[in-house]
């Protein structure tokens, strides 16, 4: 890897950013408030300069944590957040109407303790609202100086193109890892063609490719992975066998499995960024260092052949979630 930085919205960034979700939500009991603050500050000390959060992460708790933890260090990092997913008691769904976007931006600014968010995503596609209306609201926020750019998350290539024709898209965020390749159907190439950065979330397969998780039945009930088919009793034994071979490949190459997983995603194009999340200070450092590791092409190719859409067992989401995903899907085998 020759270029040491990549860009989003004209800002030069380290290609390994930090996904902050699991400091507040999603993978079982989050770390203590104090440990979350410690990890965020350590991230900046290590050189992370791209932090990613969203309103849904703990119902605003994650945005508030970042605002508190990094008060006084706001000029050291590129800040991304998201709106659109609504989880309010019985009210659940996606709302990217202009009014909802305007209100969400103001609340995010308040929680984050800042007057400017560098990148603000629509977290999911809202088929009830015209793309020009949603993008128009975000363009208005850019003009007002509240956000620097807008992005979209888990959108199809066709809808990305439509949004981009209304106002240039600052970034597209979607799941991308060795075992989740949906973006390769259309979105990866579309982003390259349009000059739009692709930000990969869950680049270590929701932790599975890190090689630490052995038995998903030990996960807390509140852990999202307990509802994901790849971690269930039917599919996990097959996937674990793949992961064990992957761990051996990484060890032979002298890197951690997580580093190999990140390096593979980053090798997919010079417009690709990764935002792995972690609650471990050790993994925080390992992940950031993945960009500087000289991995031979044959190692990346071996990883590519070992774990992919054809070899992994199970869908990435359970059936109730799948209709909310706009990104192109592989045809069932």
Residues with a known catalytic role: 57
The first and second tokens of residue 181, run together, are 């390749």
Is residue 274 helix, strand or coil? strand
Closest CA to 304 of 152, 157, 179: 179
Residue 3: how many CA atoms within 13 Å on its side-chain side?
A: 15
Residue 280: how many CA atoms within 13 Å on its side-chain side?
A: 11
Q: Are 13 and 47 a contacting pair, CB within 8 Å?
A: no
Supply φ then ψ for residue 128, to 5 degrees: -80, -15
Burial of 82 (0-12, 13-18, 19+ CB in 10 A): buried
Angstrom distance (rounded) from CA 89 to CA 120: 24
Q: Could you tell me the sign of the dihedral formed by the alpha carbons of 68, 72, 73, 79, in that order?
A: positive
Q: Could you tell me the sign of the dihedral formed by the alpha carbons of 134, 139, 140, 142, in that order?
A: positive
Residue with tokens 């996606």: 94
* DSSP tag of 180: B
Angstrom distance (rounded) from CA 287 to CA 274: 10
Hey, which bits of 26-155 come out as E strands?
A: 50-52, 78-83, 85-88, 91-94, 117-122, 147-153
């Amino acid at each position: 890897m020759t270029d040491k930085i990549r860009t989003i919205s004209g800002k030069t960034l380290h290609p390994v950013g930090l996904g902050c979700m699991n400091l507040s939500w999603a993978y079982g009991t989050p770390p203590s408030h104090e440990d979350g603050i410690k990890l965020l500050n350590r991230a900046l000390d290590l050189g992370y300069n791209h932090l990613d959060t969203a309103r849904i992460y703990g119902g605003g708790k994650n945005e508030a944590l970042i605002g508190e933890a990094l008060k006084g260090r706001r000029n050291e990092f590129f800040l991304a957040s998201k709106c659109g997913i609504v989880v309010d008691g019985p009210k659940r769904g996606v709302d990217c109407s202009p009014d909802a976007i305007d209100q969400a931006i103001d609340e995010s600014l308040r929680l984050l303790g800042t007057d400017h968010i560098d990148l603000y995503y629509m977290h999911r596609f809202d088929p009830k609202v015209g793309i020009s209306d949603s993008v128009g609201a975000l363009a208005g926020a850019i003009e007002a100086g509240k956000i620097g750019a807008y992005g979209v998350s888990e959108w199809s290539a066709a809808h990305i193109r439509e949004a981009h024709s209304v106002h240039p898209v600052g970034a597209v965020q979607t799941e991308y890892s060795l075992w989740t390749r949906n973006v390769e159907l259309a979105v990866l190439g579309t982003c390259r063609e349009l000059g739009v950065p692709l930000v990969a979330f869950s680049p270590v397969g929701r932790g599975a490719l890190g090689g630490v998780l052995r038995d998903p039945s030990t996960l807390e009930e509140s852990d999202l992975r307990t509802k994901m088919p790849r971690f269930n009793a039917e599919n996990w034994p097959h996937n674990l066998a793949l992961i064990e071979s992957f761990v051996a490949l990484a060890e032979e190459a002298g890197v951690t499995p997580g580093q190999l997983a990140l390096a593979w995603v980053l090798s997919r194009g010079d417009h690709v960024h990764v935002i792995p999340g972690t609650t471990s200070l050790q993994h925080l450092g390992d992940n950031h260092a993945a960009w500087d590791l000289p991995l031979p092409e044959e190692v990346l190719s071996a990883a590519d052949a070992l774990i992919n859409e054809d070899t992994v067992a199970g869908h990435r989401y359970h059936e109730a979630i799948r209709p909310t995903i706009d990104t192109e899907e592989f045809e069932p085998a």
